[in-house]
C-alpha cells in the first residue's frame, strides 16, 4: 500500500511538470475533483461545484477568449462530449489566462471517459509556442520589408546602372556573379573575370584588384569604400546611403566616370549588414561640368597669354585685399619697353609672341595658388602677392624682374616695373594701383629697363 502511494506521488510529480492543472469532471453530479492545481487554489481531491469552477476560469480568461471558453465548458457541450456516441474523442483549445499579473497561453484539453461518465480536463502552458510563432511572424515581416525595399531600390537603379550587385559586408562576401552589358555586342560580361576572381569572393579582394583600373587622380576617393569593415561601421554610425565618383576602365576597356552608390540595410534574421551596390556611368555629367568650367575659365582669362584678364584680375586682387587686410602685400605693375616699336618693326604677330613669352616667364616665377598675375591690356601686366615678414620681398621682386626681362628669337625684351608695398600706403586697391603706376612711370623716366619702389 505504501509503495503504491509513493508511485502515485512520483507520477503526479512528473505530470505536474507538464501541466498547470488537472481536474476530473463528474457529469452526473456536476462536481469537479481537483487532481492537481499548480497555483494551489485547490488541493488534491478537493471536490468543487462545477459552476463555481467554471466561473473562476472564465473570470481569469482574456476578454477576447471568454466567449469561446464559455462555449467549450457549457453544460450542453460537456454532455455531448461525454456521450458514448460522441463524434470526437477530445477537445483541445488554446486560451489566454491571467497568471501572476500577466496573460499566458494555456492549452485546455477535455478527454471524455463515457464508460464512467467523466471528463478529464488538463491545463498546459503553451505560451512559448506563441512567443516562437510571434518571433517567426515578426522575422518574416522584417524580411519581407527588407526584400521589398531592396527590390524597389534595385528596380529603381537597374534602369540606369552599368552594374548592380549585392554584398554581405558582415561576412565580406560577394555571393553572386556581377554582370555588365557590353554596349557593342549587347551581351553580358562577367565583371569579376576582368580581375581574375570568381564568386563567391571577398568584397575587399575584388576592390583591391579593381583599383589597378582606377585612375590615379581618383584612386584615393575609390579606396574610401573598398573595405567591408568600413561599410559595417558606416551603418552602425547611422549611414544607409553612401556615394562616390571615380574614373576607371570598365570591364570592356572603356574609360568612364563611375558613380558608386551603396544602399546599406540589416538582415534582422541573421544580423548581417547587407549592401546593394550600384555603379552608374556619369561620364556625360563630367563632360558637361568640364565644358562649363572651361567656358567659365576662358571668360576669366586673357585668351592670348592665359593670364587673368583685367576685370577678373581686379576682382581677385580686391577680394584678396579684403580677406587679408593685415597681411603684407606687394602690387607690381610693368610693361614692355618700346613695345609699339617692336610691333611696327616685326609685325603684330611677332608682338603677340613677345607678349606670350613674357607671360610664360611670369607664370614660371609666381605661386600659382597664392599670387595673382593678370594682363591689364596691351603690354601692361599686374602682379599682386602677399608675403610674410621673414620673406625678402626685394629678392622676390628682383627674381620676377629678371625672369620677364627675357629674349625672344634674338630680341632682348626690356621691361620697366613699378612696385608699391602695402606698408607704404593705406592698403586699398586703388591706392596701391595708383602708387605702383606712379613708380612705373618713374622707372621709365629714369631710363627704362629697371624697377622702382614707391616711397612716400
Same domain, 196 and 113: no
Same domain, 277 and 362: no
Assigned domain for 139 exists: no
Same domain, 323 and 442: yes
Answer whether 106's CB lies under 8 Å from 98's CB.
no
Query: Phi and psi dihedrals of 358, rounded to 5?
Result: -60, -40
Same domain, 346 and 219: no
**C-alpha cell read off for 350:** 611677332
The partner residues of 419 in beta bridges, in order of sequence, read 332, 453
251 in helix, strand or coil? coil
Domain boundary among 226, 257, 286: 286
For 430-446, what is each residue's pLDDT tens digit?
A: 999 999 999 999 999 99
Assigned domain for 73 exists: yes
The partner residues of 166 in beta bridges, in order of sequence, read 276
Answer whether 257's CB lies under 8 Å from 247's CB.
yes
Same domain, 433 and 305: yes
Q: What is the CATH classification number for the domain harbouring 226?
A: 3.30.450.20
Q: What's the pLDDT at 194?
A: 63
Domain boundary among 256, 286, 316: 286
Higher pLDDT, 72 or 153: 72
Same domain, 165 and 120: no
| Number of domains into which the chain is organized | 3
Residue 45 pLDDT > 70 = yes
Q: What's the pLDDT at 75?
A: 87
Domain range for 321: 301-453
Burial code (b: 16+ CB inside 10 Å, e: under 16) for 370-384 equals ebbbbbbeebbbbbb
Same domain, 100 and 31: yes
Q: What's the pLDDT at 157?
A: 45
pLDDT confidence band for 6 (50 / 70 / 90): low
**Greatest mean pLDDT range, 100-104, 225-229, 257-261:** 225-229
Query: Phi and psi dihedrals of 115, rounded to 5?
Result: -60, -35
Query: Phi and psi dihedrals of 263, rounded to 5?
Result: -95, 120
Percent of the chain clearing pLDDT 90 (strictly above): 35
Q: What's the pLDDT at 291?
A: 64
Same domain, 307 and 256: no
Mean pLDDT of 91-108: 88
Gap between the Cα atoms of 303 and 115, Å rounded: 115
Residue 90 pLDDT > 60 = yes
Which element (helix H / strand E) includes 64? none
For 380-405, what is each residue's pLDDT tens digit?
A: 999 999 888 767 889 999 999 999 99
Q: What's the pLDDT at 284?
A: 79
Same domain, 324 and 449: yes
For 113-166, what is each residue's pLDDT tens digit?
A: 888 888 999 898 888 777 766 666 676 566 566 555 555 544 444 444 567 788
- Cα–Cα distances (Å) from 421 to 28, 268, 383, 396, 433, in that order, read 121, 68, 12, 13, 10
Pairing of strands 380-387, 407-408: unpaired
Same domain, 183 and 272: yes
Percent of the chain clearing pLDDT 70 (strictly above): 80
Same domain, 347 and 275: no
Q: What is the CATH classification number for the domain harbouring 98?
A: 3.30.450
Same domain, 362 and 244: no
Assigned domain for 341 exists: yes
Q: What is the CATH classification number for the domain harbouring 340?
A: 3.30.70.270
Domain boundary among 286, 309, 339: 286
Amino acid at each position: 500500500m505504501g509503495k503504491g502511494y509513493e508511485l502515485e506521488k512520483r507520477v503526479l510529480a512528473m505530470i505536474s511538470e507538464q501541466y498547470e492543472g488537472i481536474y476530473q469532471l463528474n457529469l452526473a453530479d456536476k462536481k469537479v475533483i481537483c487532481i492537481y492545481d499548480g497555483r494551489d487554489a485547490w488541493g488534491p481531491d478537493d471536490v468543487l461545484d462545477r459552476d463555481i469552477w467554471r466561473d473562476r476560469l472564465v473570470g481569469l480568461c482574456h476578454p477576447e477568449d471568454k466567449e469561446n471558453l464559455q462555449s467549450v465548458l457549457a453544460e450542453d457541450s460537456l454532455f455531448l462530449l461525454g456521450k458514448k456516441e460522441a463524434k470526437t474523442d477530445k477537445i483541445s483549445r488554446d486560451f489566454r489566462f491571467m497568471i501572476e499579473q500577466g496573460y499566458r497561453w494555456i492549452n485546455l484539453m477535455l478527454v471524455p471517459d463515457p464508460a464512467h461518465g467523466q471528463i478529464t480536463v488538463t491545463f498546459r502552458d503553451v505560451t512559448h509556442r506563441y512567443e516562437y510563432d510571434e518571433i517567426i511572424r515578426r522575422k518574416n515581416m522584417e524580411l519581407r520589408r527588407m526584400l521589398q525595399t531592396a527590390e524597389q531600390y534595385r528596380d529603381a537603379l537597374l534602369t540606369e546602372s552599368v552594374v548592380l550587385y549585392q554584398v554581405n559586408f558582415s561576412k565580406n562576401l560577394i555571393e553572386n556573379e556581377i554582370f555588365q552589358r557590353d554596349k557593342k555586342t549587347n551581351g553580358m560580361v562577367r565583371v569579376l573575370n576582368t580581375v581574375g576572381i570568381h564568386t563567391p569572393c571577398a568584397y575587399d579582394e575584388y576592390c583591391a584588384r579593381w583599383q589597378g583600373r582606377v585612375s590615379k587622380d581618383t584612386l584615393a576617393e575609390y579606396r574610401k569604400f573598398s573595405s567591408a569593415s568600413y561599410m559595417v561601421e558606416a551603418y552602425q554610425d547611422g549611414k544607409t546611403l553612401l556615394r562616390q565618383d571615380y574614373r576607371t576602365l570598365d570591364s570592356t576597356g572603356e574609360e568612364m566616370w563611375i558613380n558608386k552608390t551603396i544602399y546599406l540595410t540589416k538582415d534582422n534574421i541573421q544580423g548581417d549588414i547587407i549592401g546593394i551596390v550600384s555603379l552608374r556611368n556619369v561620364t556625360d555629367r563630367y563632360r558637361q561640368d568640364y565644358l562649363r568650367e572651361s567656358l567659365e575659365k576662358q571668360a576669366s582669362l586673357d585668351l592670348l597669354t592665359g593670364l587673368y584678364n583685367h576685370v577678373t584680375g581686379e576682382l581677385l586682387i580686391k577680394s584678396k585685399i579684403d580677406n587679408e587686410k593685415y597681411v603684407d602685400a606687394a602690387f607690381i605693375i610693368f610693361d614692355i619697353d618700346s613695345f609699339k616699336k617692336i610691333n611696327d618693326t616685326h609685325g603684330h604677330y611677332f608682338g603677340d609672341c613677345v607678349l606670350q613669352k613674357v607671360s610664360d616667364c611670369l607664370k614660371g616665377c609666381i605661386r600659382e595658388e597664392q599670387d595673382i598675375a593678370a594682363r591689364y591690356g596691351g603690354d601692361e601686366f599686374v602682379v599682386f602677392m602677399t608675403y610674410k615678414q621673414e620673406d625678402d620681398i626685394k629678392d622676390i621682386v628682383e627674381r620676377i624682374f629678371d625672369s620677364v626681362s627675357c629674349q625672344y628669337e634674338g630680341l632682348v625684351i626690356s621691361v620697366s616695373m613699378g612696385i608699391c608695398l602695402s606698408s607704404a600706403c593705406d592698403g586699398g586697391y586703388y591706392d596701391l594701383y595708383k602708387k605702383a603706376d606712379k613708380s612705373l612711370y618713374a622707372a621709365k623716366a629714369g631710363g627704362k629697363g629697371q624697377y622702382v619702389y614707391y616711397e612716400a
